[in-house]
Amino acid sequence: MNEGYTKVGQISDFPVDSLKRVRVGNDDVVVANVDGKLCAITASCTHRGGPLEEGEVQGTVVICPWHGGQFDLATGKVVSPPPTKDAIPFEVKVEGADVMLRRK
């Protein structure tokens, strides 16, 4: 059952160690491929709206390119300030080659 899920692409659209912005309903979401595991959180830094897809990935953390705030890609939790509000995590489901997301 795919209730609530939105197809955002194929597995091949998300190469290992990449960040890609996609749209899920009204949300811009960044999908990260961390060592072959797909994670997804809202794409704008909760500090000043920096584009997380332009950030740097270190392990399971994305670093915002604007002010260096850090978020855990699996949970959306703030790892390092200046952000104080967590990003929203998304469930990732892979069916065949399709990648599908929904809010957790």
Question: How do the domains of the chain map onto residue ranges?
Answer: 6-103
Model pLDDT, residue 68:
98
Please calculate the CA angle 50-15-96 and round it to the nearest 5 degrees. Answer: 115
The fold of 6-103 is: Rieske Iron-sulfur Protein (2.102.10)
User: Which token pair is 31?
Assistant: 């999908």
Amino acid at 104: K
Please calculate the CA angle 71-76-79 and round it to the nearest 5 degrees. Answer: 35
Confidence of residue 31 (pLDDT cuts 50, 70, 90): very high
Model pLDDT, residue 2:
77
Supply the DSSP string of the chain, one letter for each residue: --TT-EEEEEGGGS-TT-EEEEEETTEEEEEEEETTEEEEEESB-TTT--BGGGSEEETTEEE-TTT--EEETTT--EEESS--SPPPEEEEEEETTEEEEEE-
3: pLDDT strictly greater than 90:
no
pLDDT tens digits for 40-97?
Answer: 999 999 999 999 999 999 999 999 999 999 999 999 999 999 999 999 999 999 999 9
34: pLDDT strictly greater than 70:
yes
1: pLDDT strictly greater than 70:
no
Rounded CA separation 36/16 (Å) = 6
